Amino acid sequence: MELQKIDNNKKDYLHLLLLADPSEEAINRYLYDGELYILKDGPLTAAAAVLYPLSDEECELKNIAVLERLQGKGIGSEFLKQLIKLASEKYSYMLVGTTSQTERFYKSLGFEYSHTIPNFFVDNYPEPIFENGIQCIDMRCFRKKL
Ligand SMILES: CC(C)(COP(=O)(O)OP(=O)(O)OC[C@H]1O[C@@H](n2cnc3c(N)ncnc32)[C@H](O)[C@@H]1OP(=O)(O)O)[C@@H](O)C(=O)NCCC(=O)NCCS
């Protein structure tokens, strides 16, 4: 699998980005200032992610998504490991905002709990967001030293 940076026609990957963030409006707020990376499996785009600069020393993983039919096969972990390696050339820390369902994924790659943003999912999205029938309200952020 091969990592590629995408600078043009970023909207071509919206179908993937919407798997991790249900609001196109929210995606538009970080897609153009952020760096979009995809993971290619031959001609197939298997995953996409956006790294967003927060400061000279910290970036935020704003979105990471694997094609639905390929989830749970280790592709997300492999992709994030490659992104961590790449980001470590420029940044000292990577931050990520999670939902309860994805905390385990990040913890398994060495991210540690940092802080909680109360009501994030209520305040930033026009519609309530549900994950496995439970409404997402607060966002818990995790950070990794690169
Ligand atoms: C989250 C996501 C990127 C992980 O990629 P993946 O290829 O499915 O994950 P992997 O197969 O590499 O799994 C890595 C670990 O995370 C866990 N995990 C992966 N996806 C999970 C999910 N949706 N819920 C709970 N645990 C999950 C796996 O159990 C695995 O842990 P284990 O090895 O201890 O069992 C992928 O499932 C996805 O695109 N989900 C939808 C979009 C999304 O929610 N993105 C995150 C936004 S915060």
Domain 2-145 carries which CATH code?
3.40.630.30
Cβ(61) – ligand 1 distance below 6 Å:
no
* pLDDT value of residue 99: 87
pLDDT tens-digit profile of 1-44? 999 999 999 999 999 999 999 899 999 999 999 999 999 999 99
CA 16 vs CA 40, 56, 57, 71: distances in Å: 13, 28, 28, 12
The domain segmentation of the chain, as residue ranges, is 2-145
Longest dimension (CA), the chain: 41
Who's near 18: CB < 8 A, 6+ residues apart? Answer: 24, 27, 65
pLDDT tens-digit profile of 131-145? 889 999 999 999 999
CA-nearest of 131, 125, 79 to 105 is 79
Cβ(69) – ligand 1 distance below 6 Å:
no
pTM: 0.93
Cβ 118 vs Cβ 83: under 8 Å: no
Q: For residue 78, give the ligand 1 atom closest to its CA.
A: 12
